[in-house]
Chain A
Amino acid sequence: MKPKHQRLSLAVLAIIAVAAAVLLAMWGLRDRAAYFFTPEEVAIGKAQQGAAIRLGGMVEKGSIRQRTDGVTIDFVITDGSHDVPVVYRGITPDLFKEGSGVVAEGRMRGKTFVADTILAKHDERYMPPQMGNEVAEHAAVKTVQQ
């Protein structure tokens, strides 16, 4: 093979590789991307039953209930106007408390969200960027009042 032809074939290989990467990625994203939902979207039935999703909002004040096994809790994620009941088995992250922002990963089972993971946020000033402005403003007012 002449050097020129070799270079051409290598360039074609590189382009095929890039195309393959994009195609593979697109194929993978089709059914493996977890969608982010707000309580409102869940309330109007946007979240598919049993599909892996993330749910973000505020932990409603006074909603955390401990079950008798000592490691399972029930609480409510709210955006101020819509509520979603959540059940979670595990140790809650350090910044998880009533009235603060939370992102939970899990699945809708009936009307209840079964969380596998509750995402801890390193910063108490943190607000999930994906959450609606309404919640952010709500929180800002709360901070000022404090």
Chain B
Amino acid sequence: MIAELGLAALWLAAALALLQLLLALGIAKGEGAKAARPLALLQAVLTLLAFGSLIAVFLRTDLSVALVFENSHSAKPWLYKFAGTWGNHEGSMLLWVTVLSVSGAALALLEKRISEKMLVASLGAQAALGLGFYAFLLFASNPFARLNPAPLEGRGLNPLLQDPGLAFHPPTLYLGYVGLSVAFSLAVGAMLTQQVDAPLARAMRPWVLASWIFLTLGITAGSYWAYYELGWGGWWFWDPVENASLMPWLAATALLHSVNVLAARGGLRSWTMMLAVVAFSMSMVGTFLVRSGILTSVHAFAVDPQRGTFILALLAIYIGAALILFAARAATIREGAPFKPVSREGALVVNNLLLSVILGIVFVGTLYPIIAEALSGEKISVGPPYFNAVAGPLALILVALLFVGPLLRWRSDRRPLAKWILPSALTALVALAVSFAFAPGMSLLARFGLASGIALVPASVMPLFGRSLKRTPLAVWGMVVAHLGVGVALIGMASDSAFTEEKLTVARPGDKIQVGPWLIELAGIAPVAGPNWTAIEAHLRASRGGGAETLRPQARTFTSPLTETSESAIHTAWNGQLYAVIGRQRDEGWQLRLWWKPFVTLIWLGGVLIAIGGLIALAGRLWREQRWGREAAE
């Protein structure tokens, strides 16, 4: 019953989306525009109902639903029954569509700054997006399909997904991915109604910021999840699935900066519209990459090429239509206020160009293997050597821009800026000199990454100097915190790549192993059991001078499906992490792989700081607008 209810809700939501699209197409006659908001709200209610139904059948382990049979098991802990709802193709696409319609509803409910005509057009664009993905769900990936007769037991969830990370990472990432659809729809609505101006940018800005915060958090969480779950000690693999989330983030970061130029100075109008289209297009490209099965990936879960064709067709239609609209309307978009090359606008243009180039490099590197295979049949894979060598230096130039850009004034800046830049530049030089003296063997990228990361700490707070701290807008504080986060993350990345120490060995109980400053003793090996797994657990005692820390890495065997995984054990110290993995039993003892990773935690701390910066800026923007709104009303 519940499954049928969900399916019916989905069909009904699709019908409403069609209605909403027709409504938007009819706005020229000015009819029924008032229905647009309720339609968007109702759609969100229906998709939430459908999604809730799917969660319910998963929680009850209703095995007559094919999806539950294939991906769940009655003996699974409830958290994974719940999160397992989106740990598969159909469920995750339903989550995608749910977020899409909820974004549309939020737009309908909260957006009061733009004209009614533009809102109807934007909601129409949102409905058009929805329709395609409803069709995809209903015709190509029905999550509610039944099995008759119902099997007695399910196949279980992939053990690597049985982790608390599954409850947090995909929904966060999807909120970011799909939240960008609002920016896309607003841009389409503005181009259709020819109102590309500063008020539009102020309306678009909070949506971009919110999506970007979720994307940042989602990527950070995903990176940490892969770091401890895969047991390889790496935090970023330049894997297609990771790139799929990085590309929308790069585009959203560029959009976040250009939308500010449009909001504050009325400049970069066409460019901002283009970026809004590109950002959500990258979200769809990401979905295509992850869900089509076209790429080999360490994160690729059960995938299906036929569905890829469907998403590819949707992609071509939406991106194509948006670009045609852009080409048709670009000439009608007015020029913004002029500015000198040395100005805030100028710096933001360089920021946008660099981010776009990095995006292009990641895009080409990610899709090149597909294109090469289609054209010449050559099988190619592109990995870290390419991305680090080509995108790395550009990212460092972008970081160097952070020393100067935030200090500049709008329009034109002729002040002597040397005294503001000098402290950070000196810090960078000292850090470089120290690194040459104490770590001569560092790679070029790590050395410059470390130096610029350290120098970014003073550089990021520099825009606060000479300001009255009380009167500094929250948006500026947000910028400072986010840029500081970039510096912190950079230090972590450089430190991990340059100073990590690794030991691969075979040990018997009682053996002692030295890794970095730590002396680690294998105290014992014992079997342990969990709700749906059994494991061999190593008991490691790690010490460096003072008291001992305990690490318990496991080699787990899950019963359904029958799979072995390794659970790494991590001890977090103030200055880094000790990371331990247990391998297989050999005649000589147990395989152990140990890493000491100085300051590796700064990578994710930096990511969180970036997101917090976004949050502060968002709060500042919303608060300020509310105050203005009240004053305007009075």
Contacts and interface: CB of A to CB of B under 8 A. Distances in A.
Interface of A: 1-4, 6-7, 10-11, 13-14, 17-18, 20-22, 24-29, 32-37, 52, 54, 66, 68-71, 89-92, 94-95, 103, 105, 119-126, 128-130
A3 B336 contact: yes
B616 interface: no
Interface string B432-449: 000000000000000000
B390 A25 contact: yes
Contacts of A34: 380-383, 385
B518 interface: no
A71 B506 contact: yes
A53 B301 CA distance: 24
Given A69-B506, A70-B587, A126-B300, A6 B335 contact: yes
A70 B158 contact: no
Shortest 9 CB-CB distances between A and B: which pairs? A21-B360, A70-B506, A91-B583, A3-B335, A36-B379, A25-B364, A28-B390, A32-B386, A70-B588
Given A26-B364, A34-B385, A129-B294, 20 more contacts: A10-B349, A11-B270, A14-B356, A21-B358, A25-B361, A25-B368, A25-B390, A32-B386, A32-B390, A33-B381, A34-B382, A35-B380, A52-B385, A70-B586, A91-B593, A94-B564, A120-B230, A122-B299, A129-B293, A130-B379
A88 to B, nearest CB: 11
Contact of A68 (B300, B588, B593): B588
B231 to A, nearest CB: 8
Given A25-B364, A29-B382, A35-B379, A1 B353 contact: no
Contacts of A11: 270
A28 B589 contact: no
B572 interface: no
A94 B390 contact: no
B298 A119 contact: yes
B8 interface: no
A129 B593 contact: no
B271 interface: yes
Given A1-B338, A13-B349, A22-B360, A122 B300 contact: yes
Interface of B: 158, 160-161, 230-231, 268, 270-271, 293-296, 298-302, 305, 335-339, 349, 353, 356-361, 364-365, 368-369, 373, 378-383, 385-386, 389-390, 394, 504-506, 561, 563-566, 581, 583-584, 586-589, 591, 593
18 contacts: A3-B336, A6-B335, A13-B349, A21-B357, A21-B358, A21-B361, A25-B390, A68-B588, A69-B588, A70-B505, A71-B583, A89-B504, A94-B563, A94-B564, A103-B296, A122-B158, A124-B563, A126-B300
Contacts of A24: 357, 361, 390, 394
B420 to A, nearest CB: 26
B382 A32 contact: yes
A37 to B, nearest CB: 8
A65 B230 CA distance: 24
A14 B380 CA distance: 30
A14 B581 CA distance: 47
Q: Summarize A's interface: helix, strand, loop or mixed.
A: mixed
A66 B80 CA distance: 37
Most buried by A among B268, B357, B382, B385: B357
B379 A122 contact: no
Nearest to B507: A70
Contacts of A128: 296
Contacts, number: 156
Nearest to B566: A94
A72 to B, nearest CB: 9
A26 B367 CA distance: 12
Nearest to A26: B364
A14 B296 contact: no
A13 B299 CA distance: 37
B386 A3 contact: no
A1 to B, nearest CB: 6
A66 B504 CA distance: 15
A12 B619 CA distance: 36
B16 to A, nearest CB: 36
A128 B303 CA distance: 11
B584 A92 contact: yes
A126 B566 CA distance: 19
B381 A123 contact: no
Nearest to A27: B390
Nearest to B589: A70
A71 B270 CA distance: 58
A119 B111 CA distance: 47
Nearest to A68: B588
Given A13-B353, A125-B302, A33 B368 contact: yes
Nearest to A4: B335
Contacts of A4: 335
B381 A54 contact: yes
Nearest to B593: A91
A25 B593 CA distance: 35
Contacts of A25: 360-361, 364-365, 368, 390
A53 to B, nearest CB: 9
Nearest to A69: B506
A90 B566 CA distance: 14
Contacts of A37: 379
Nearest to B336: A3
Given A71-B591, A89-B504, A28 B365 contact: yes
A18 B385 CA distance: 22
Contact of A71 (B357, B394, B505, B561): B505
Contacts of B231: 91
Contacts of B349: 10, 13
Nearest to B369: A33
B302 to A, nearest CB: 6
A47 to B, nearest CB: 12
B504 A90 contact: yes
Contacts of B305: 129
A135 to B, nearest CB: 13
B589 A6 contact: no
A34 to B, nearest CB: 5
Contact of A17 (B353, B382, B584, B588): B353
A126 B300 CA distance: 8
A123 B564 contact: no
A16 to B, nearest CB: 8
A36 B381 CA distance: 7
Nearest to A117: B232
B504 A28 contact: no
